[in-house]
Amino acid sequence: MKSYITEEFRLLAANAMKVAAIPVDFGFEGYGEFIFYRTYSRTRPDGQQENFHDCILRVINGVMSIRKSHYVRNCVEWDETYWQEYATRMAITMIKMHWLPPGRGLWAMGTDYVAKRGAMALYNCAYTSIMSLPDDVEWIMDLLMNGVGVGFAPTRDNELELYEPDPDDERLYVIPDSREGWCESVKLLLQSYADLNQPTMSFDYGKIRPEGLPIAGFGGTASGPEPLKKLHGLIREYCEKYIAYYPHRPTARYDSVRLKADLANAVGCCVIAGNVRRSAEIALGDIHDQTFIDLKNYEKNPEREGIGYMSNNSALLRNPEDFEQLGAIAERVVEKGEPGVVNLINFPFGRMRLGKRDELQADKATGLNPCGEIPLEDKEVCNIAETFPTRCESEEEWLEACEFATFYCTTVSMLPTHRAETNRVVMRNRRIGVGIVDFTGWKSDTGIHKITRYMRNGYRKVVTTARRLAEEAGIPAPIRHTTIKPGGTVPKLAGKTSGIMYPNFEFMIRRTNVAKSHPVSAILIEAGIGYEQHIHEEQTWVFEFPIKCGPAKPVSEISLWEQAVNLALVQREWSDNAVSNTLDFKPAWNLIHDVHFGRHDAALNFCHDHPEPDYKTEKVQEGEDWNVKVYEYDPNHEEGIVEEVLSYLVPITKSIAMLPHTADGVYPQMPESGISEDTYREKREAMKPIDWTQLSGSDGVDTRYCDGDYCKIVPGETHA
C-alpha cells in the first residue's frame, strides 16, 4: 500500500525533553484527564500507554511530517533547524492547552492509518448535494464511515427516473470485509435501479467479520453483517416505492426529495448500528418545499421515525422573499425545535461587518456541515482547530495560539484524501476553521469591548499567517479561515465551556458512558468514581463526575436575546465561515417529569397531584401500561419572541438553530444534572486520586466528528 506521507519529522530528543518538562493542567478537577485517557490515549509502539505528552508529540511529529512531505515533494526548501524550534514552541502551547487540534486530530494524527489512507480521518465536516444516487449516496456512506459529519441536500429532481432491475439477470457481489466493500455494495445496489436493463443485485455477506470481533483501523467491535443487510432491504424498499409513485410526479406522495432523504438517513443509521463509526448528518432543503419541511412530521410520515433522527434539518433561504417564511419557521421551532435556518444569501461573504466586506474571494459554498459552522461546496471537507483564550495569560499568548492553530489546519489541507472529487475542491479552496473555546467565559472575565478588539486582532493574525504559509508552500491561500465549532470532548480536557455556549449549571454531575470491558472502567471504580448500570446498554457503565463550571452564568439565567447578541458579535468580528449555535429559549410549558407507570391508577394519581392551570399532562396508554409526561407553565417564557429573534439574526448571520430549554432531571441518566455546592464538595471529597499509570492496552475511543451536546444525534428507540 502506498504512503501518503513520504517524509518523516521527529522532534529532537532535547526538544522533546523540553516539551515533557511542561506540567499538564487538565480541567474540571480530574474529568478532563479522564476524557483524555478514555478517548485519545493510544498504545505506543513500545506497548506502553500514551500520556498527554506522548500524544502531543505524536500529533506534532505527524503534522510536521505532512508539511515536510509537501515541501520535499514539491522541491520547496525545508530548514530543519527552523522547523525544530517552531515545532517545539507549538508543542509547548499545546501542552498548556492554549490551542488544540480537534479530537480527530488528537486521536488520528501521526498514526499509520493516516499515512496509509490519507487525510480523510482528520477532517471534521463535509457536504454534498445529492444528484446522482449511486455516486453521492456512496460518498456520504464513505465519509460517515470515516467519521466525517456530512451535510446533504436532497435536491428536488422531478425528472429522476428509476427502473426495476431485470429479474432474469442476477449479479452476485461478494462483499469484502472493509469500509470500501460496504460502500461499494450500496453503490452497486443503487446503480441497479438508476439505469435501464441492469441485473438484480444479490450479495454474499460471508466475508464480513462476525459480531464482536475487533475492527481494525478505527477500533471498536464489529456488528456483523445485519445492519448492512437491513440497509440493503431499505434501499430496495425506497427505490421500489419511488418507482410505484413515479408516474404521478411531481405531486407524488413519495417524491425525489423524500427518496434522497430516506437513503441518506438510512445510510447514517447503518453506519451507527454497524459500530464502524459514529457520525451525524444535517439535511438542507428549500424553505418552500413541503416534502422537506414535513420530513420529521411523524404523524404524517410515521415510517420515517426509525431513520429521521439521524439528521438535524435546516431550511435554506435563497432570496429576500424567503424571509417572509420566518413566522412559519418560528412556529415549528417552538413546537418541535426544528428546523434550523440557513441564510445562503450571506454565504459568499466573510464576516458580517456592518456593510463592510472582508477582502476575500467570494465563497461558492452551497451547503453546510451538520453543526452549522462551515459553509461548504459540493464534495468539500474542512478541518478545524480551536484556541483557548481563557487558558492564555495575555493577548500575545492567544495570538501565538491563533498562529499555531492556523499552521495545523493549513497543513492538514496539504495531505490528500482518498477521494479525487474531494481533493479537487480542497486543493482549490484550502478552507480551514480556527475556532474559539469558552467565548462566554472570556466575555465574563474580560468584557465585550476588549474581546471585540482581541477578536479583530486574532482574525488578522490567522489570515496573515495563512497567507504567509501558503505563499511559502506554493499553494493557494485559504478562502475562509475562522469559525466557532460546538466543541465536544476537547474543551473538556481544558475544563472550558464549548464554543459560544453557556454552561448548563454552576455545579453539576457530568455523566459519561464507558464500556464495562474498557480498561478505564476498572481504574475509575478503584478511584471511587460513582457509577451505575446504563439503562439501555447491558455492557455499559455510566460514570458520574462532580464538576464546577464558570465563570459565565448558567444558560437558565441568560435571556434568548443575550445569546442572540453573542452570535451576532462573533459572526461580525471573528468568523468568516459560520458560527455553530443552538440558542436556548424558555418554553411556555417545561417538561418536568417523563414517567412510565405499569398501573392505570398510579398514572391517574400522579396526574391528580399536578392539576391545571399551572401543570398539564399527556397520557398515552399502551396495553395496561401508561406513559405520563408532566409539564409546568412558565409565565416568563420566551416563545413569543422566537420569531422576533429569528428576524433580527437571520439577515446578519449564516446559520441559526434554536431549542427549548430542557428542565433538569427530566430523563434518567441525562449527560448533565445540576447539584448544590455542598453536594459538589461532598462528592469531590469522596473521590480518590486516579492512578492512570495502571492503564494499559487501550487505543482510545475514536469519537464522532463532533460530539457537542447540542449537535449530538440521539437515536430513538427504533433503529434502522
Question: pLDDT by residue (tens digit) across 413-468?
Answer: 999 999 999 999 999 999 999 999 999 999 999 999 999 999 999 999 999 999 99
Q: Does residue 142 fall inside a structural domain?
A: yes
Residue 418, pLDDT score? 96
Residues that are catalytic? 371, 373
Amino acid at 346: N
Model-level pTM?
A: 0.93
Residue 716, pLDDT score? 35
Does pLDDT of 98 surpass 90? yes
Query: In the chain, what percentage of residues exceed pLDDT 90?
Result: 76
The H-assigned helical ranges of 295-390 are 305-308, 326-336
Residue 400, pLDDT score? 98
Among candidate residues 102, 261, 264, 281, the one with its CA nearest the CA of residue 713: 281
pLDDT for 325-347, tens place per residue? 999 999 999 988 889 999 999 99
If you average pLDDT over residues 267-272, what whole number do you get? 91
Q: Does residue 226 fall inside a structural domain?
A: yes
- For residue 62, give the C-alpha cell: 505527524
Among candidate residues 392, 396, 402, 366, the one with its CA nearest the CA of residue 574: 402
Beta strand segments in 166-241, E = 166-174, 199-204
Residue 277, pLDDT score? 45
Contact at 8 Å (CB) between 387 and 147?
Answer: no
Residue 385, pLDDT score? 97
Give yes or no for a cis peptide into 486 (omega within 30° of 0). no
Coil, strand, or helix at residue 533? strand
- Among 439-443, 520-524, 711-715, top mean pLDDT goes to 439-443
Q: Which residues pair with 590 in a beta bridge?
A: 632
Residue 624, pLDDT score? 73
pLDDT for 553-579, tens place per residue? 999 999 999 999 999 999 999 999 999
Q: Does residue 247 fall inside a structural domain?
A: yes
Contact at 8 Å (CB) between 386 and 99?
Answer: yes
Q: Does residue 224 fall inside a structural domain?
A: yes
Q: DSSP state, 393?
A: S
Q: Which domain holds residue 132?
A: 126-282
| Angle separating helix axes 31-39 and 519-526, nearest 10 degrees | 160
Q: Does residue 162 fall inside a structural domain?
A: yes
Contact at 8 Å (CB) between 277 and 113?
Answer: no
Contact at 8 Å (CB) between 214 and 221?
Answer: yes
Q: Does residue 151 fall inside a structural domain?
A: yes
Confidence of residue 619 (pLDDT cuts 50, 70, 90): confident
**Separation between Cα atoms, residue 435 and residue 440, nearest integer Å:** 14
Phi, psi values for residue 100, rounded to 5°: -150, 150
Confidence of residue 222 (pLDDT cuts 50, 70, 90): low
Beta strand segments in 261-310, E = 281-286
Q: Does residue 228 fall inside a structural domain?
A: yes
Q: Among 203-217, 322-336, 629-643, 653-667, whose mean pLDDT is lowest?
A: 203-217
Confidence of residue 515 (pLDDT cuts 50, 70, 90): confident
Contact at 8 Å (CB) between 167 and 122?
Answer: no
**Separation between Cα atoms, residue 119 and residue 137, nearest integer Å:** 20
Residue 220, pLDDT score? 58
Q: Does residue 373 fall inside a structural domain?
A: no
Of residues 32 and 360, the one with the higher pLDDT is 32
Q: DSSP state, 120?
A: G
pLDDT for 117-148, tens place per residue? 999 999 999 999 999 999 999 999 999 998 89
Q: Provide the domain count of the chain.
A: 1
- For residue 304, give the C-alpha cell: 420515517
Residue 219, pLDDT score? 53
Among candidate residues 685, 484, 661, 679, the one with its CA nearest the CA of residue 566: 484
Of residues 317 and 596, the one with the higher pLDDT is 317
Residue 698, pLDDT score? 87
- For residue 476, give the C-alpha cell: 493557494
For the chain, give the longest Cα–Cα distance. Answer: 80
Residue 278, pLDDT score? 55
- For residue 414, give the C-alpha cell: 496539504
Does pLDDT of 10 surpass 80? yes
